[in-house]
Amino acid sequence: MSDPTSSAVLRGAVDLSSLRNRPAAPAPATAAASPQAGAAVPASRLVFDVTDQSFGEVLELSRTVPVVVDLWAEWCGPCKQLSPVLEKVVVELAGRVVLAKVDVDANPQLAQGFRAQSIPMVVALVAGQPVPLFTGAVPEQQVREVFAQLLQLAAQHGVTGSVPVTDEAAPESEEPAEASLPPLHAEAFAAIEAGDYPRAIAAYEQALAENPRDADAAAGLGQVTLLQRVQGVDLGEARAAAAAAPRSIPAQLLVADLDVAGGHVDDAFGRLLDLFAAVDGDERAAVRARLLELFGLVGDSDPRVIAARSRLASLLF
């Protein structure tokens, strides 16, 4: 985050003008509505979905209480790692901050307005103005530090309100609480939170050995394997190495991994398909294997995967 004492962070970070006065459409039944300033809400209502159509309400809310905007997508592994951390910290702040979640695939105008070059991307709104916070999955302690700076900045701009939070006692008729995670899945989650990706991979692999049909374990294994491959990699150095050696399989695979982890799925697929067309033999097999792995990670029904599969088929035959 920029220096929280400077008002410069409130100028020109992103262009939200096209969404500022957009008429609101009825929210989908499954989406949580944004809380109203001054109205007491359960803690769970501090986290809500926002769309291209409802964004005007969020801008107005940010004049009373800082709004953190989480730009994410279902296929994004790092997003699934970061979002629970954001939600936990927001709930603990008890109404001093709220969290608006933006699915970039479903809301392309918001993604464009925030200039979301990669996700997860986290931005705040203070008095209707954007404040860049960070991109990528960051540790919980760093999230807490950034939010503390955000509250200081908001106070300097007169945004000191909060959303009153009520006790969230469960009704007697409520469905029983969700069952706890299976032990191996719980072990994998704990390892991911600790940044111990090899231990998480081992847990998911054991879960699949015990139940080869465990789709959640398969998905988790793919996401953690990707995170392990890109952990600690310098993006600039990786791109320079790939540009210097356009037919280097390891260099091109690494940049494709970084692109998927950062949300640039089309770039990753295009890079690997171009590479597949340029090489042959065992090299082709390695590129195809990585493509299939990334297809599974993004999701077979994703339009980008469908288009890439079609091109791969044309290159094969």
| Predicted pLDDT of residue 31 | 40
In this predicted model, what pLDDT tens digit does every residue of 222-237 receive, in sequence order? 888 988 998 888 989 9
| Predicted pLDDT of residue 8 | 36
Neighbour-count burial for 290-316, b at 16+ CB within 10 Å, e otherwise: bbeebbebbeeebebbeebeebbeeee
Residue 116 or 290, more confident: 290
Here the tokens at position 18 are 């096209």
Percent of the chain at pLDDT exceeding 90: 38
| Predicted pLDDT of residue 36 | 52
Name the pLDDT band for 47 (thresholds 50, 70, 90).
Answer: very high
DSSP one-letter string for 157-178: TT------EE--PPPTTSPPPP
Which region among 69-73, 237-241, 298-302 has the lowest average model confidence (pLDDT)?
Answer: 298-302
Residues 190 and 193: their CA atoms lie apart, in Å, by 5
| Predicted pLDDT of residue 4 | 39
Which region among 18-27, 54-63, 163-172, 279-288 has the lowest average model confidence (pLDDT)?
Answer: 18-27
Residues 97 and 92: their CA atoms lie apart, in Å, by 10
The residues with which 68 forms a beta bridge, in sequence order, are: 99, 124
Residue bearing tokens 């191996």: 184
Q: Enumerate the domain spans of the chain.
A: 7-165, 182-231, 235-317
Amino acid (one-letter) located at 201 = I
Count CB atoms within 10 A of the CB of residue 198: 10
| Alpha helices for the chain (secondary structure H) | 17-20, 55-61, 77-92, 108-113, 140-156, 183-193, 197-210, 215-230, 235-244, 249-261, 265-278, 282-298, 303-316
User: Exposed (0-12), middle (13-18) or buried (19+): which is 6, by Cβ within 10 Å?
Assistant: exposed
**Which residues form the catalytic set?**
76, 79
Residues 34 and 99: their CA atoms lie apart, in Å, by 9
The CATH topology of domain 7-165 is Glutaredoxin (3.40.30)
pLDDT(54) > 60: yes
| Predicted pLDDT of residue 44 | 66
In this predicted model, what pLDDT tens digit does every residue of 141-186 receive, in sequence order? 889 999 999 998 888 888 888 888 776 544 444 444 445 678 998 8
Q: How large is the average pLDDT for residues 112-124?
A: 86
What does pTM read for this prediction?
0.50
By residue count, the chain amounts to 317
- The reply to whether domains 7-165 and 235-317 share a CATH topology is no
Q: How large is the average pLDDT for residues 246-256?
A: 95
Which region among 9-13, 110-114, 276-280 has the lowest average model confidence (pLDDT)?
Answer: 9-13
**Mean predicted lDDT score pLDDT of the chain:** 81
Q: Which of 107-111, 210-214, 251-255 has the highest mean pLDDT?
A: 251-255
In this structure, the strands spanning 129-135 and 121-126 are antiparallel
CATH code for 235-317? 1.25.40.10
Which region among 39-48, 73-82, 200-209 has the lowest average model confidence (pLDDT)?
Answer: 39-48
Residues 207 and 134: their CA atoms lie apart, in Å, by 34
Q: How large is the average pLDDT for residues 104-128?
A: 87
Name the pLDDT band for 26 (thresholds 50, 70, 90).
Answer: very low
| Predicted pLDDT of residue 129 | 87
| 3-class DSSP assignment, residue 48 | strand
